[in-house]
Amino acid sequence: MNLTPYRRALALPGLRSLLLASVAARIPFTMTGVALTFFVVLDLGRGYGAAGLVGAALTIGSALGAPLLGRLVDRRGLRPVLALTTAAEAVFWAAAPVLSYPLLLPAAFLAGLLALPVFSVIRQSIAALVPESQRRPAYALDSMSVELSFMAGPALAVALATGFSPRGTLWAVGAGIVASGLALLVLNPPVRSAGEAAGPPARVPRREWLTPRLLAVLAVSAAATLVLGGTDVAVVAVLRAGGEVGWTGAVLAIWAVASLLGGFAYGTASRPVSPLALAAALSLCTIPVGFGGGHWWLLCLALIPAGALCAPTLAATSDAVSRLAPAGVRGVAIGLHGSAVTVGIALGAPLAGAVIDASTPFWGFAVTGAVGLVVTLLVLPVELRRRRAAAGTPDDGPPAAPDQEPLAAPGLEPAAR
């Protein structure tokens, strides 16, 4: 396997330290859902539905706040945003363990609005540090670091909540998030490259950057994470129905390892792979996963193809957004990408759950995969119109760079039609 793309990317000044910091900074955020669930259920004595509402409030706030904070980064710079959001995180996580449920619910929404934008900041900084020709391996490394964080975070939250206390776990999560914010303040990663103008950015009209192509990438991002969110729930349901729920951790670990390997292979690819093709393949591979029934080892095998496409799909959508957004609005564009990813995950889990409740666990995979596939087919005409149009039309912005990845791979067009 050719490792040259990774060597070249990691040799760029600042990227290695940014990626190392990103793994540690993201772990506390991957613990929040589990930590809040344990606290609401065990310490506040509420049901899982009530815990889900707190998670939903945090998610909705985060989805709304990400592009707003991105715009603030574009206009005021990174450090003021990091200072504001780190302070807001400190207040929420210090108070959350002593709040009653009626107060915790609105507080979680406000905390989501002012959540530390770790994921968006890392991706925006990669776009500033890495030339377009080398962003594929850089975003592949970023996507793999996200996978590592999600492998460690929830398990650590469970260990702390069960071995220590749910209330103490919330304080530990808050301390980790505040430490992440302070670390980013010290690191102060760039959000614009050396070749991009310094100072307040010139105003970019929305119609010049929020193009049909960018909207298509955002839709594909949401569709892909909808499939991933649905898969999480469907795996548990299938194993529970087969009496093998104890193997859930092993199955999810195999899924995550497949994603890591797929992300690594994506970063070494010699030719660009489109986010639309990857999302369509991810959806197609997810539809038949439930055929394995409740046997955990069959489910592991069935999940490997879809798992191998997880990290590449998320890396490709991040790369596409960084290429399509001008430097002056890159923060808000990447914030919108973060919102799309968040909304997709938030919709996928309840969709799969509702389908499973109304039918059988198999349909959780089939329906979420089918929804993801439908979305990719719906946005395909955007790419086809771009190819037919003259280069540089106002609808699609400036011509694509020679190494820019198309939304749709040429080999996908005949079958999609």
Structural domain range at position 72: 1-192
pLDDT of residue 400: 44
How many domains does the chain contain in total? Answer: 2
State which of 157, 192, 227 marks the end of a domain. Answer: 192
Do residues 136 and 82 share a domain? Answer: yes
Do residues 213 and 320 share a domain? Answer: yes
Do residues 300 and 234 share a domain? Answer: yes
CA 87, CA 85: separation in Å to the nearest integer? 5
Name the pTM for this structure.
Answer: 0.86
Q: What tokens were used for 208?
A: 């010049």
Q: Is residue 233 part of a domain?
A: yes
Do residues 248 and 318 share a domain? Answer: yes
pLDDT of residue 155: 86
Do residues 212 and 122 share a domain? Answer: no
Q: Is residue 95 part of a domain?
A: yes
pLDDT of residue 199: 57
State which of 143, 171, 192 marks the end of a domain. Answer: 192
Q: Is residue 409 part of a domain?
A: yes
Do residues 170 and 105 share a domain? Answer: yes
pLDDT of residue 125: 94
| CB-based contact 273:263 (threshold 8 Å) | no
Do residues 324 and 408 share a domain? Answer: yes
pLDDT of residue 415: 32
Do residues 380 and 239 share a domain? Answer: yes
Do residues 166 and 276 share a domain? Answer: no
Q: Is residue 199 part of a domain?
A: no
- First-to-last alpha carbon distance for the chain, in angstroms, is 34
| CB-based contact 372:286 (threshold 8 Å) | yes
CA 74, CA 87: separation in Å to the nearest integer? 20
Q: Is residue 78 part of a domain?
A: yes
Do residues 160 and 210 share a domain? Answer: no
pLDDT of residue 40: 93
Q: Is the dihedral of CA 290, 291, 296, 301 positive or negative?
A: negative
State which of 124, 157, 192 marks the end of a domain. Answer: 192
pLDDT of residue 291: 79
Nearest-10 crossing angle of helices 275-286, 212-241: 20
- List the CATH number of the domain containing 325: 1.20.1250.20
Q: Mean pLDDT for each 10-residue chunk of the chain (417 residues)?
A: 85 91 91 92 87 90 94 92 97 96 96 95 93 91 91 89 92 96 94 69 78 93 94 87 83 92 90 89 94 79 95 94 88 94 91 88 93 94 70 45 45 33
Q: Is residue 197 part of a domain?
A: no
Q: Is residue 20 part of a domain?
A: yes
Q: Is residue 245 part of a domain?
A: yes
Do residues 171 and 209 share a domain? Answer: no
Do residues 113 and 142 share a domain? Answer: yes
